[in-house]
Amino acid sequence: MGAGIVQLAAQTGHPVVACDRSVEALERAERYVREGLRRFADRGAFTEGEAEEHYERIQWTVDLGEMAPVGAAIEAIVEKVGPKKEAFRALDAIIAPDALLLTNTSSISITDLASATENPGRVCGTHFFTPPPVREAVEVPRGLLTTDETVERAKGLVRAFGKIPIAIQKDVPGFVANRFLMPMLIEASRLLDEGVASKEEIDLLVKKGLGFPIGPFELGDFIGLDVGLDVISYVHEELGDAYYTPPRLLKEMVRAGKLGRKTGEGFYSYGEEA
């Protein structure tokens, strides 16, 4: 997800500092961005020369200190509270006091993440959807202490990326999008586990019957089954609602390392497509 946000920012004219602790992760992100820009150029969105110009706007680094001059930092790491708070503490100590501190979380409390900082008023959510260069809308959830100015600045940044900001007024687990999407993945997993229908049949009914562009198992594989499980587990823990109990089948697949497209196998097998 982070690589997609990097690509989106760069191809809309913004200089980007892309930072990760892992050299391997940065190399994967570089390949993702190069391939993404090439696909856009192939479709005629811009020329190959412009694609190269977009790529040259990106500074790749493992040194967090190089984030110091940024006007907005967008955290896009694993969907777990602890690591995100650790990242927020580090960024809060480095970036300028008036810089935005944003998170791509799709479910976690903005108020909770902001508690790791000295200035929670500048913390806000910017939840991009997969893949960020393609999807048109971005959720902008606010925390209890997020200022109105921060929300407006975050919305302005999203618009500068060519996207539609949708402000979420209450800091609820899963925000809006995942409160719709995760129940679909939960129900699909339970139906499959109970032998009601095959994964192919369930996906086909959702697409050809309900008119969705993608089936729940295809979607789960696309976003990553580990990400889906993290979101469902967090919402379950926060709401205390038994309905959100993570499906056994989903937990087993994550334990087995079958995470979807990114590992080559999830509910479906992808091989060299992944």
Rg (CA), the chain: 19
Rounded Cα–Cα distance for residues 245 and 202 (Å)? 21
What pLDDT sits at residue 274? 52
User: Residue 31: which domain range?
Assistant: 2-168
Which of 114, 136, 168 is where one domain is finished? 168
Tokens of 82: 């602890």
- Rounded CA gap, 216 and 220, in Å? 6
* Shared-domain flag, residues 25 and 127: yes
| Count of domains forming the chain | 2
Q: Are residues 113 and 247 in the same domain?
A: no
Do 152 and 28 share a structural domain? yes
Cα–Cα dist 150/135, whole Å: 23
Q: What is the pLDDT of residues 81-103, one digit of tens each?
A: 999 999 999 999 999 999 999 99
260: left (phi over 0), alpha (psi -120 to 50) or beta: left
Mean pLDDT value of segment 129-156: 97
Is residue 198 located within the same domain as residue 155?
no
160 and 192 assigned to the same domain: no
The residue out of 122, 139, 168 marking a domain boundary is 168
- Helix H or strand E segment including 112: helix 110-114
Residues marked active site are found at 106, 127, 139, 178
pTM above 0.75, yes or no: yes
Q: Whole-angstrom Cα distance, residue 143 to residue 172?
A: 9
Q: pLDDT tens across 33-75, in order? A: 999 999 999 999 999 999 999 999 999 999 999 999 999 999 9
Return the amino acid letter for 182: M
Residue 185 has pLDDT above 60, yes or no: yes
In this structure, are 195 and 260 located in the same domain? yes
60 CB burial (10 A radius; 0-12, 13-18, 19+): middle
Strands (E), 77-155: 100-103, 123-125, 127-128, 137-141
**Within a domain: residue 258?**
yes
C-alpha distance from residue 258 to each of 181, 191, 253 (Å)? 20, 19, 5
